[in-house]
Structure 1
Amino acid sequence: MSFEATISTKVPSNWWQYPYPYDVVSIAASQEKLQKENLIDSYTTESTEQSYGQRRFRKCLDPKIGKLGRKVRYGCSKRRNKSRRLDGLCNDYENPASGSLYYRFGRNVPLNATVRDKKNLYNPNPRDISRTLMKRKTFIPVTIVNILVAGWVQFMTHDWFDSGKNDRCRHFKVPIRYDDPDFCKTMDIPMTRPDSCRNSKDYDTYQKLKDGKLKLTSKDRLPIDPSTGLPITGNSLNWWVGLERNPTWNDKMLYNTARLIIAAVIAKIHTLEWTTAILQNDVAKLGLKSNWYGITPFEIARGNATLAAWLIKQFPQLSNGIPGAIGNPKNIRGVPYSLTQDFIAAYRLHPLLPDEFEVRSHQTDELVNRYNMKDTVFEKAESVFEENSMEDLLYTFGNDYPGAMTLHNYPNFLRNLDLPTTSPHGKGKVDMATIDILRDRERGIPRYNAFRRLFHLTPITKFKDLTTNPTHAEELRHMYNNDVELIDFLIGSLAESPLPEGFGFSDTFFRIFTIMARRRMEADRFFTDDYTSEYYTQWGLDYIDATYMKDILLRHYPLLASQLQPNVANVFIPWKSQTSLDKNFPYPLY
């Protein structure tokens, strides 16, 4: 009997209101249904001329046909591909281009639902939404996590996906109201180039090796690109994680093995630390552990042998528990791997950023410096590192709160951002909140209600169904002209309340996370079939298993020991709030 059949054909939306273990079964039902129906290959005959996924770009050729396909297949031998290629090719021998540079993004909704609605591209006006629903009036913190959560997710997303350079010859012209304080007449936003493809970058972009090591400056930092004023990672805040990629090994083969190991450590940190910090919920944590290590029926039953026996009787497939993705056979579930446009939409987490921050001494907690974020972006970011020690910055970010993922909490510095010439948008002034709304519409992300239907969730019928905040409900009703079907995916997700206990973002976002979090690992041969000592070395496998973010910080910044030891377990949770060591970290074992 499947989880889905046990609950119903319509997966319950408010799973957190169910008693245990039905909340767990409800999420399992959702996962099962999404894995069957919501992994969509963009390279299919279902594509239409209007679909964002339509093939229009030569570099995005179907990998199964043409010169690209033949060339890739010829080079994908096991002997020649024992490490991750910089272009991402040959991870899947049967679908060698899947998930690689220039490979088309997939979808989590049917392709015929991703048609850009040109008629409603500016309905409602994205800039009006930014001013009315997203503008930060006062900073609303989320107190369960720290600002390292924002830094980490920026580091991850810049490596996961990139839509490439925008089309500077074609622009959207967002109408601007006469009383707009920051923009005049129209806001010109470059269009995404047709058929945007996955483009993983960052550290793999900069491969200056000497004796198996990355080239660093005398201060152990990545060099500055003189044309942009930025570190060569591609982003000014990403290099701090890269120190862990600099083992003292002496040739390219060992360097590539180190890349394998560090990629696995990063995936583990994201799965078992970052995500469990922003989703401090027992059911979510159980699911995340199942993604990496797997879980036993005894763990699912929270140590209750009688309940474990009942669960196995009801669901025979649980007799051996839920196996983890790591080290088990690769499973692409019949769909070649790629990240999805819908996944990208769910990672629009800009409200996490504050508009200002204070740097405090890691030794005394005294104020050292105070900054406005607008004065620390792009080439200005380097001055922050020059004026402060990394220990003070990490201590500050380890204790300060990020912004809550809610309405009226979008960073104001991003809503009136001066871009340098080197930016993908070109020089000028933009409103990132407007762009977030417009990009989802441009790329065919269904509106909130349509998205929930396609994800087998209950749609709303009234604005008050979406939020318990009556002011927000009225603002939404006015902005969307009494039509709940027009609510944008991002806006609906920011407005959702109440949230499940311990959640740092909406349940709708969570549904995308649940399907793609496991897929990123179970479809990757280096986390599955080839997660062996032959590829990683036994030392590497042991290192991955033993290493958490705290270990990395202490290895590179031992002066933080007095702040991290002995009580801090998860560095993405405010350090001062961890007054006693969680001996069961990262997960309780019943």
Structure 2
Amino acid sequence: MTDTTDATPQAGPASAGAPKAPEAAPEAPGRLPGQSGGGTPPPPAPRPYGPPGLLERLESAAFARINRTREWYELPGPLGLMNLAVIREDLRRHNLYDTFGAGGERDRRPTRRLAPHRSYDGSGYDPYDEDMGRAGTRLDRNSPLELVHPDADEELMAPSPREVSRRLLARRGFVPAPTLNLLAAAWIQFQNHGWANHGDNEEAEPLTVPIAADDDWERQGGTCPMRVNRTRPDPVAHTAPGVPPTYENTVTHWWDGSQIYGSDEARCRSLRTGERGHLILEDGRLPRDPRPGMECLDATGMNSDYWSGLSLLHTLFAKEHNAICDLIRSHHPTWDDERLFHTARLVNTALMAKIHTVEWTPGILDHPVLHHAMRANWYGLLPRWVTRTFGRIGGEALSGTLGSATDHHAAPFSMTEEFVSAYRLHPLIPDEITVRDHRHGAVRKVIGFDDMQGATTRTAVDDFGISDLLYTFGVSHPGALVLHNHPDALRNFARLSGEHIDLGTVDVLRDRERGIPRYNAYRTMLRKRPVTSFEELTGGHPGDTPLLRELYDGRLDRVDTLVGNLAEPRPAGFGFSDTLFRIFVLMATRRLKSDRFFTTDYRPEVYTPEGLRWVDENSMVTVLLRHHPELEPHLAGVANAFAPWKGRS
């Protein structure tokens, strides 16, 4: 497999057409409006991601043999870290598949002018592919394309996704994740809204889900049979034969904060004051969304499926954006609104990426090897003082991803359907939340999830205040990602649009509809040994063995990936399965390595020296305390803001 952004003819499974070389060299990246000429020359074309060398092949073969009997997390720390690095390289070579060409596309458009900062729609990041990562381009795949043709409609219902939801997903009693707080649940939805969205499909005939005779769905307010809108299809009709269905991402693919800033210029400008680079805030709150029927939500870049947890984080990082603007303006008083805004966006986005990489991820994957791996992903294996004193030494492994060479590996960058599927983490949401006073810890009120989502989002924030809600989220646990723990509130969920759905059913159905391989095929394509029995799958929960065997008619090959990942025994400290983790191993660094604003353009000429220091010196704790110093007694000594805070009884 080769990198299809190279200007030379391509080969391999990710290739869909060779882009032409640009007629003229693009402008130097990082030159902002008002800057003088000069700058740096355009980056060289990415080298093809060719076959592994002898050492890489030997490492891969050696660890493949070891992993037949011992997984990476069962090895001594340094060896486990090496094993993870080899797994990542194998995944980069074999699990990036491009759908370019499905609509008859032949050539990629070269970028005539590289965006000097993050563009409004995600275009102009790559010199050889102007549309890479742009809003409105396709989601690609981690699975080989021959595996992702969905079943016919009748097979999509085998077994009924509603029965899977009722019998395997429905919460029997709240199972908490004791090492995390509820901010961790809100955070991942906050980030995910900036990465991928399929949009709405009101036009096609919905999918019909059969309802069992003893099902109470109608009594809950649903229709019988259940109707679920299909995923909105790719607007570009397929002309290439044998290509599986593809779908469009309605937001930018990049890690660019589009959930805050929007994925088009008009939306972004509607959220800005037009002065000093600031976003609009009114008395410390985001304003109401002015669109008809949306006034109960915040005006922000992405507010689909919005609730108070999202409102807290959108507001917090809008405040952070404005604080960064003020810092940069104090050092560059002549800069205009546009330059201040775009520079602050770069810094704010990088800080969010850092928080996710070195705080949220080790929080939900609390394993010693992962702690080292995620820090190395961001900072490199060398001590931080070495890089600070001498600059980058060596490549990504030693000095981290930031400032390293851009590399798309085996396919042009995009989000993937498998990555979207990996974030079906609805068990994190509790059905009830005990709101507490941040000053004394006293209980104010116990509310249901429906009392703080959709139409009640802003009302809940108004009634309880941001400080008490942040404190409440900091001392409350999310749910564990296990079977029988999907919240009732989301399995009987009324959207703002009036649609009444069971999100457990929808989660299962979406994977099947979009061609996510079933669990054992999913493991195999990620080079993980398939399970050989239902007993092995259910591991430490033998009570679920007969239930899964009955529901799937004794066929291991039909077990849904979502179900398998919730049932699978997992490494100590892991919040989700090692199988699911393989997608994260691949995609976590890919989002950084493909983005020149995290690689070749992560430099003071683009971010400013002050901006780079801001990213380096801050964390989720310092962001919270900057804007809510009243929370200091609860955060004193807390190393990770996504772990439970100090509460008061």
Flag whether TM exceeds 0.5 (same fold): yes
Whether the 8 Å CA contact 1:63–1:97 is kept in 2: the answer is: no
- Shift, 1:226, TM fit: 4.7
Within 2, Cα distance between the matches of 1:166 and 1:226?
20
Within 2, Cα distance between the matches of 1:226 and 1:529?
39
Q: Give, as a single letter, the amino acid of the residue that structure 1 aligns with 2:374.
A: L
- Shift, 1:272, TM fit: 0.6
- Shift, 1:285, TM fit: 1.4
Within 2, Cα distance between the matches of 1:9 and 1:110?
23
Q: Give, as a single letter, the amino acid of the residue that structure 1 aligns with 2:468.
A: D
Map 1:361-440 onto structure 2 (within 5 A). 361-421=437-497, 427-440=498-511
For residue 232 of structure 1, the aligned residue among 290, 299, 305 is 299
- Shift, 1:131, TM fit: 0.4
Q: How many residues align?
A: 531
- Shift, 1:379, TM fit: 1.6
Q: What's 1:100 paired with?
A: 134
Whether the 8 Å CA contact 2:537–2:567 is kept in 1: the answer is: yes
Whether the 8 Å CA contact 2:77–2:368 is kept in 1: the answer is: no
Within 1, Cα distance between the matches of 2:341 and 2:559?
48
Q: What's 1:48 paired with?
A: none
Matched residue of 2:587: which SS? helix
Within 1, Cα distance between the matches of 2:470 and 2:367?
26
For residue 348 of structure 2, the aligned residue among 248, 254, 262 is 262
- Shift, 1:204, TM fit: 2.1
For residue 128 of structure 1, the aligned residue among 163, 168, 192 is 163
Map 1:45-124 onto structure 2 (within 5 A). 54-55=102-103, 62=105, 64=107, 69=109, 73=110, 76-78=112-114, 81-118=115-152, 119-124=154-159
TM-score (norm 2): 0.78
**Alignment deviations for residues 208-243 of structure 1 (CA, whole Å, 9 cap, x no partner):** 322021122234323333522211221342423322
Does 2:232 correspond to 1:193?
yes
Q: What's 2:73 paired with?
A: 16
Whether the 8 Å CA contact 1:297–1:319 is kept in 2: the answer is: no
Q: What's 2:640 paired with?
A: 570
Q: Give, as a single letter, the amino acid of the residue that structure 2 aligns with 1:483.
A: R
- Shift, 1:94, TM fit: 1.2
Within 2, Cα distance between the matches of 1:256 and 1:62?
32
**Alignment deviations for residues 470-524 of structure 1 (CA, whole Å, 9 cap, x no partner):** 1111211111110000000100000111x11111111111111111000000110
Whether the 8 Å CA contact 1:11–1:30 is kept in 2: the answer is: no
Whether the 8 Å CA contact 1:135–1:409 is kept in 2: the answer is: yes
Within 1, Cα distance between the matches of 2:347 and 2:106?
28
Matched residue of 2:229: which SS? strand
Q: Give, as a single letter, the amino acid of the residue that structure 1 aligns with 2:203.
A: R
Are residues 297 and 538 of structure 1, via their aligned partners in 2, closer, same or farther at CA, if it must alter by over 3 Å? closer
Does 2:273 correspond to 1:202?
no
Are residues 63 and 523 of structure 1, via their aligned partners in 2, closer, same or farther at CA, if it must alter by over 3 Å? farther
Map 1:554-569 onto structure 2 (within 5 A). 554-565=625-636, 567-569=637-639
CA RMSD of aligned residues (A): 2.3
Matched residue of 2:191: which SS? helix
For residue 271 of structure 1, the aligned residue among 352, 357, 368 is 357
Whether the 8 Å CA contact 2:403–2:600 is kept in 1: the answer is: yes
Structure 1 unpaired stretches of 5+: 45-53, 56-60, 300-317, 422-426, 579-590
Within 2, Cα distance between the matches of 1:349 and 1:333?
28
For residue 336 of structure 1, the aligned residue among 394, 397, 412 is 412
Q: Give, as a single letter, the amino acid of the residue that structure 1 aligns with 2:451.
A: D
Whether the 8 Å CA contact 2:147–2:515 is kept in 1: the answer is: yes
Q: What's 1:58 paired with?
A: none
- Shift, 1:361, TM fit: 1.2
Are residues 434 and 416 of structure 1, via their aligned partners in 2, closer, same or farther at CA, if it must alter by over 3 Å? same
Whether the 8 Å CA contact 1:142–1:403 is kept in 2: the answer is: yes
Within 2, Cα distance between the matches of 1:504 and 1:172?
32
Map 1:260-299 onto structure 2 (within 5 A). 260-296=346-382
Within 2, Cα distance between the matches of 1:493 and 1:91?
35
Within 1, Cα distance between the matches of 2:338 and 2:395?
44
Within 2, Cα distance between the matches of 1:451 and 1:321?
28
Does 2:288 correspond to 1:218?
no
- Shift, 1:9, TM fit: 6.0
- Shift, 1:178, TM fit: 1.9
For residue 168 of structure 1, the aligned residue among 193, 203, 223 is 203
- Shift, 1:25, TM fit: 2.7
Map 1:442-457 onto structure 2 (within 5 A). 442-457=513-528
Structure number having the greater strand percentage? 1
- Shift, 1:319, TM fit: 11
- Shift, 1:175, TM fit: 0.8
Structure 2 unpaired stretches of 5+: 1-54, 235-246, 253-257, 263-267, 330-335, 386-393
Map 1:543-554 onto structure 2 (within 5 A). 543-554=614-625
Q: Percent identity?
A: 37
- Shift, 1:11, TM fit: 4.7
Does 2:186 correspond to 1:151?
yes
- Shift, 1:298, TM fit: 13
Are residues 364 and 155 of structure 1, via their aligned partners in 2, closer, same or farther at CA, if it must alter by over 3 Å? same
